Structure 1
């Protein structure tokens, strides 16, 4: 075990200097920063009494007077080229604290009005050669974030980042084995059952006391660095930040990031609190740079019809395009997506004919592109039209004239520094032509939707497409679906492509109620509803009407009930209406009690509840009047679910 983990007490002779109303304490051995509400406390400690050596963060959580150690140690430091090392470092000073208070709006996401509050302190360290490194630490009411900062001049390669999270062996964890498309399943583990692998973001943890949850992630990654992942291969309870595998993206691009001073690293973000704090948090966006797009009126979230799932094919068939445009009309959805092979369209019409038909119906088209280049093996066309600035300008110019509202860009296969810059370049060029963007086969959100709100959604999830890839998802989807609201979907829009009632290549085990609930449970600003037209037209009136009106962007999100792997019930508000989605991931029937104390007092509401019937393909609708003090018990079938809409009377 590392020696610094055992550093719990310090000599009594140490002189303390206290400032910021007790929120920060500074000594030769210990520095403390608290969140404004006092619940989260971060100690800045070192591994011996001299003040030299490895420095690390220690994170604690105070819930109603009960103090819990969340993360015993977060190692700090970087190794740069030219033999510049910041592992054995000396504390120099701490800045005066700054209260971070910020309000901003988002055109899509889990909430529209964002507020964050935190305390920031900048800690300056120096290495043995007296070169300085700053650690900027912010402690918010719903978590913490820190980053490295360097001033001066110079060009360097980052040989290693020493950031590593040491976590108590008894802490439960839900982590996804790293893969370039971020389309794995989450594994639940603790203690001796903890696997040693490379893991993707975000990673969820629950302390052994069961009262504190935390989610590890990163934000504000840009072309000045690469995306990172977590590895506990060396020590099963220490998750070290590691750089991309050199083999990613067919070996194209450099694995080690190159930086130029002055420079700041991405934020290392930890969301901390109870499960509702995790679900409701916008911390990953909060620490990202503000929007660079001044006028966002053209950015319009909405539902999308999409043929790939049911056809297991692209969009070569003109008649298929027309059928799914007609579906969007019938369901009041504003968009339809043309997937791969639209450049080879036939059977009654070509691309121009298809776009003309779609627009004549009052629907806006979205179009798919292969990201292109040598970083992907995939040859599906159109390819390479997004690859360079000149390509993009030419293509976006054409699309705008054709009335296309946005693009879906696929197959990135790497999070190396050059690929991160490629993502950013696409977003910046698209914004100039007022094009919305959807990334597929891509990285997990890193806060970019705040900076570039034309970024509507990402895949980066094992979604309904996997019903076409093999029989495995039939069995694993019910549990997987209950983990995603607490992990992947916390950090940004997630296009799972949900709500399928018919079967594609391999069947569902989830009930119709479960599938309907996903329209609320999973947040995506462009929500692709992917069943074939009869999958929706054959529904009873109430669930079909529900899917015609359910929003794809929200004003507020709260967790009503849930536990990863077992069940999840979320309530989301849009204007004056609330929508609820609840699912059961287990193979047993359940009765879920829903209380409505989140509603305004002394007001009456109409509740329309659409739930499982006697079997998994039956939906039953109940209408009732409720108030803030009422509750309803909903029966869920095994792997079942329900959806609801609450309207003020």
Structure 2
């Protein structure tokens, strides 16, 4: 019998996060698992008691009878990098790393690379041999989550557009679940978010399944039926090979919201010249008129809206290839450019993987198609593409996503993926990937009546889940109604412009929705940034309320929303402001009713508290600029 079951401990640089490697048989050979712990206020919480490890390859098993061969020397990862858009522009990839080498009965080796960060931990598998091509028939990574742990999870769907379900104890459902998934430990001191990062064409996307055991969330491969059954759900690898990182963002809710861990562990940018990549706000006609781009005059009206609101872009959505009523796509591009703004344009991802027949369908499907289309778009003055309906996370679809990004970089085209997977860190590698949908956003006011009442709660969950892991195009800030009405206040809608981060922020309302706003509100929307220097959670709890502060230069933008069916009186602590400086605060809050605003101005410093009243399902924004 081996003396100790635990054979390795890796701690974060700040000593708050600990990950340990155990042998289940308490010997040097057998099955292996990780255990994670979090230290808060001198109290250690076991966050995830067991994370099963192992892979099954088509030629042999790497999960049972694994013998410990070597524990490598601890290594400090310490890298700084900058990005062009996101929650924080100056980032740091800093961790303690240890590589463990195991071998199976045939002496074939597998490495487990473990990192502990101040805001979480990551691990990945590595096959170090240099020859061979195999299928990975199963990944046995599985997270054991105690029943008392609270969780917010989205039922798996290929477009990642579901609602989050809050569960614990006997309410935990057995299901397949999408990323990211949020958990709060039973003693309430530790939160963590499960995800994956640095996925590339050497593997497929995975999801979480507790179908067999409600307390065990096993990584599972895509369903064979996804993408109309096209492609294999089993990935094929060529050695040497590394898996994507398995990512656990951990700490308090403030740590979760501020984390850039998904990008930190992903491959650095491969785009040398990035001068052409410009985050910005976009006018978008689909929400208010599903066939808006078919009408040249509607396209002109939304271009004029972007000019009036000082936004950088307007998007031509589907049906641009059948545009009538005074002009076609070439005329539209000329008109938009003549106004001093830039056009973006929609495409169907095409191929047999989608049921959607909307045209143009296949112009992004092959390298040759993309080269021809990007060449034409460049000549017309388009600067970005929105590509829709991927419907699968199989390995061939991951390759398709990345092939699009590589070709788009060659033609200096910004990219927006719609009807797609959730972010896996690609915006760091390909900074012209500006945003993804992969969220139940405002478009769902077009789809179902239930979003009228579920949106307020949903909106307060997204800052702690989906938007943590990368840009999210919710298409926010809609004051008028689409097919189905809002139950949120105008203040709530305005706050979404700050709460939700997206490298291209598509403002979805019709022109009159913005142009009839009070001057102070219009002025705010004309200047609100969408790429940030710093992000901090001020207060909040998923499904209840959230208040967030984001810094752009020396100015701070604060936004808060209330999901509940009762008024909320907030006292916003301003400790995020710089010490020794006074700021002019402009507050735009709910007025007497849900379509009214109340504006106030005052001088504050970081010792002050800002009182704010929110209506039921209400919200507010505040801008703090240094007082000169």
Same fold (TM over 0.5): yes
Residue 87 (structure 1) aligned with residue 55 (structure 2): no
Offset of residue 64 of structure 1: 1.9
Following superposition of structure 1 onto structure 2, how do residues 134-283 of structure 1 map, counting pairs within 5 Å?
134-152=111-129, 153-283=131-261
Indicate which of 427, 432, 446 corresponds to 2:405: 427
Whole-Å separation in 2 of the counterparts to 1:141 and 1:128: 37
* 2:11–2:116 contact (8 Å) kept in structure 1: yes
* 2:389–2:420 contact (8 Å) kept in structure 1: yes
Whole-Å separation in 1 of the counterparts to 2:410 and 2:624: 39
Indicate which of 311, 332, 345 corresponds to 1:354: 332
Residue 77 (structure 1) aligned with residue 25 (structure 2): no
The 1:534/1:134 distance shift into structure 2, 3 A limit, reads same
TM-score (norm 2): 0.99
Unaligned runs of 5+ in 1: 1-10, 15-26
The alignment partner of 2:15 has SS state of coil
* 1:79–1:87 contact (8 Å) kept in structure 2: no
* 2:285–2:293 contact (8 Å) kept in structure 1: yes
The alignment partner of 2:293 has SS state of coil
Indicate which of 602, 605, 617 corresponds to 2:595: 617
Residue 319 (structure 1) aligned with residue 284 (structure 2): no
* 1:76–1:87 contact (8 Å) kept in structure 2: no
Indicate which of 553, 563, 566 corresponds to 2:531: 553
Indicate which of 401, 417, 427 corresponds to 2:395: 417
Match in the other structure for 1:529: 507
Residue 100 (structure 1) aligned with residue 77 (structure 2): yes
* 2:62–2:110 contact (8 Å) kept in structure 1: no
Offset of residue 399 of structure 1: 0.7
Match in the other structure for 1:293: 271
Following superposition of structure 1 onto structure 2, how do residues 35-46 of structure 1 map, counting pairs within 5 Å?
35-46=12-23
Offset of residue 552 of structure 1: 0.7
Could you tell which deviates more after superposition, 535-544 or 311-320?
A: 311-320
Whole-Å separation in 1 of the counterparts to 2:76 and 2:464: 29
Following superposition of structure 1 onto structure 2, how do residues 486-565 of structure 1 map, counting pairs within 5 Å?
486-565=464-543
Indicate which of 367, 376, 384 corresponds to 1:406: 384
Unaligned runs of 5+ in 2: none
Whole-Å separation in 2 of the counterparts to 1:99 and 1:85: 27
Match in the other structure for 1:47: 24
Match in the other structure for 2:609: 631
Residue 62 (structure 1) aligned with residue 39 (structure 2): yes
* 1:332-365, Cα deviation, whole Å (9 max, x unpaired): 0010000001011110011111110000000100
Offset of residue 314 of structure 1: 4.7
Whole-Å separation in 2 of the counterparts to 1:634 and 1:287: 38
Offset of residue 29 of structure 1: 4.1
Offset of residue 450 of structure 1: 0.1
Segments of 4+ moved more than 4 angstroms: none
Whole-Å separation in 1 of the counterparts to 2:206 and 2:84: 28
* 1:562-590, Cα deviation, whole Å (9 max, x unpaired): 00000011000000111011000111111
Match in the other structure for 2:312: 334
Offset of residue 88 of structure 1: 3.0
The alignment partner of 1:477 has SS state of helix
Whole-Å separation in 2 of the counterparts to 1:296 and 1:593: 41
- RMSD (CA atoms): 0.9
The alignment partner of 1:409 has SS state of strand
The alignment partner of 2:240 has SS state of strand
Residue 437 (structure 1) aligned with residue 415 (structure 2): yes
TM-score (norm 1): 0.96
Indicate which of 470, 481, 485 corresponds to 2:463: 485
Aligned pair count?
Answer: 626
Whole-Å separation in 2 of the counterparts to 1:124 and 1:214: 27
The alignment partner of 2:517 has SS state of coil
* 1:211-269, Cα deviation, whole Å (9 max, x unpaired): 10000000010100000000000110110000000000000000000001100000000
* 1:417-444, Cα deviation, whole Å (9 max, x unpaired): 0000000000000000110000000000
